[in-house]
Chain A
């Protein structure tokens, strides 16, 4: 029960760190979506680019996260200590699921439906807007959901390069061998992941039904 007591005593700090964490995730996801979705669309139009770009995103995904955060520290302008370089790393990780699902979502739209649109006199842009994007939407949104849950977890490690967030508790807890501190970071992070996943799931249902 002292974990509960710990949560009650430190609720200010826990809430503040959770909010920091949410900001880090929100910012990274926002940027990743703004880059990933249009880039995914572009890849369906430029098939030659698709495999190198998706391959690169795959490679980034395989770099251990702690190492990637470390690599960013000495890089001028975009690197260094703090929230900015953490955001960049998180964007790089979130990019693959978004990029890949956008690409696959558009690719798997029935070619006959697209041709029917063409036969009705739709321009390429109209086909994209009225047929391909709406039909690919569930897959694209699934990619965003996966990326969000992934980012909530990864963002705890960003604390290692001074980005703040719930990872601060976890790293402190590990150093001090205090499981209460680890819990104070891990539990809100898990709840955040579950909560965001549920929220996006609901958004998905609403958008797809509309």
Chain B
């Protein structure tokens, strides 16, 4: 397919018609790359993410997925080819783990056998023994287990692109670290393109090939983690990255 995995060209958005939620965002995500959007709440990182699967449409600018503008995609088709992981609520509370994971394949009309086989494979992949977990409800799982199921579900239809919005946000630090390292190993093996949103600086540093630092609806800098740390584009970036890093170092010592 033509073009990079994801490209945003000068995208702006305002929800109330006055204050911009995003202004002039441009970025390119290459195939197989993990870009982490880092920023505090209200910085526009989640809105940027939702532009990619067209949950939000830009007021100005264009968004391309695999070379095709999102408004030219059938939104249903686009979303089924894009894994989407969000914090906590993403699992449907009334469905079993197995049915949650098999949801997108089911929507795409896979046979029951194929769906079941894929679900079991994915449960193994995210280290949840199928015998113990396939029939549980999300409410019977721990936070970490739920996030594993969320990742498994996003991978179900084997989409080339994954969008992840604070997927490990609700976890305690220990589980968070463990899921992060498992996730980066998994990612390296599967070779997916990933856009990942977080407010957690260490998480961004650990997972990203490149980090996009966002603040107030603007993309301040998009660069490799070392570059962001060593050569921040301006004082604001330095401040945003540094403050949290201290906390993280203190946090990981305790």
Instruction: Please state if B79 and A134 are interface contacts (CB–CB under 8 Å).
Output: no
> In the complex, what residue of chain A is closest to B83 when comparing beta carbons?
A120
Instruction: Please state if B107 and A122 are interface contacts (CB–CB under 8 Å).
Output: yes
Within 8 A of B (CB), among A151-170: none
Instruction: Please state if B76 and A116 are interface contacts (CB–CB under 8 Å).
Output: no
Bound-complex Cα distance A118 to B53 (A): 10
A117 within 8 A of B: yes
A123 CB to closest chain B CB, in angstroms? 6
CB-CB contacts of A119-130 with B at 8 A, as 1s and 0s?
Answer: 111110010001
Instruction: Please state if A121 and B92 are interface contacts (CB–CB under 8 Å).
Output: no
Bound-complex Cα distance A115 to B75 (A): 13
Instruction: Please state if A120 and B94 are interface contacts (CB–CB under 8 Å).
Output: no
Majority secondary structure of chain A interface residues (helix, strand, loop or mixed): helix
A60 within 8 A of B: no
Instruction: Please state if A117 and B76 are interface contacts (CB–CB under 8 Å).
Output: no
Report the contact-size class of chain B (Cβ under 8 Å from the partner).
20 to 34
A114 CB to closest chain B CB, in angstroms? 10
> In the complex, what residue of chain A is closest to B50 when comparing beta carbons?
A119
Majority secondary structure of chain B interface residues (helix, strand, loop or mixed): mixed
Bound-complex Cα distance A153 to B91 (A): 42
Instruction: Please state if A121 and B94 are interface contacts (CB–CB under 8 Å).
Output: no
Bound-complex Cα distance A188 to B104 (A): 51
A186 CB to closest chain B CB, in angstroms? 40
Q: Given A113-B93, A130-B92, A131-B92, are A120 and B55 neighbors across the interface (CB < 8 Å)?
A: no
A151 CB to closest chain B CB, in angstroms? 29
Instruction: Please state if A119 and B107 are interface contacts (CB–CB under 8 Å).
Output: no
List of A residues within 8 angstroms of B55 by Cβ? 115, 118-119
Bound-complex Cα distance A118 to B103 (A): 12
List of B residues within 8 angstroms of A115 by Cβ? 55
Instruction: Please state if B89 and A113 are interface contacts (CB–CB under 8 Å).
Output: yes
A contacts with B, residue count (CB < 8 A): 17
Partner of A116, one of B75, B78, B86: B86
A207 CB to closest chain B CB, in angstroms? 11
Within 8 A of A (CB), among B185-228: none
Contact sample, A vs B, 27 pairs, CB 8 Å cutoff: A110-B89, A113-B89, A113-B90, A116-B84, A116-B86, A116-B91, A117-B92, A118-B55, A119-B55, A119-B84, A119-B86, A119-B163, A120-B80, A120-B103, A120-B107, A120-B153, A121-B81, A121-B82, A121-B104, A122-B107, A123-B76, A126-B107, A130-B92, A130-B103, A131-B92, A134-B94, A135-B94
Tell me the B residues contacting A by CB distance below 8 Å: 50, 53, 55, 75-82, 84, 86, 89-94, 103-104, 107, 153, 163
The 8 closest A-B pairs by CB, nearest first: A121-B79, A121-B80, A119-B84, A112-B89, A116-B90, A134-B94, A121-B76, A120-B104
**What 18 new A-B contacts, CB under 8 Å, besides A115-B55, A120-B107, A121-B80?**
A110-B89, A112-B89, A113-B90, A113-B92, A113-B93, A116-B90, A116-B91, A116-B92, A117-B92, A119-B50, A119-B84, A120-B79, A121-B76, A121-B81, A121-B104, A122-B107, A123-B76, A135-B94
Tell me the A residues contacting B by CB distance below 8 Å: 110, 112-113, 115-123, 126, 130-131, 134-135
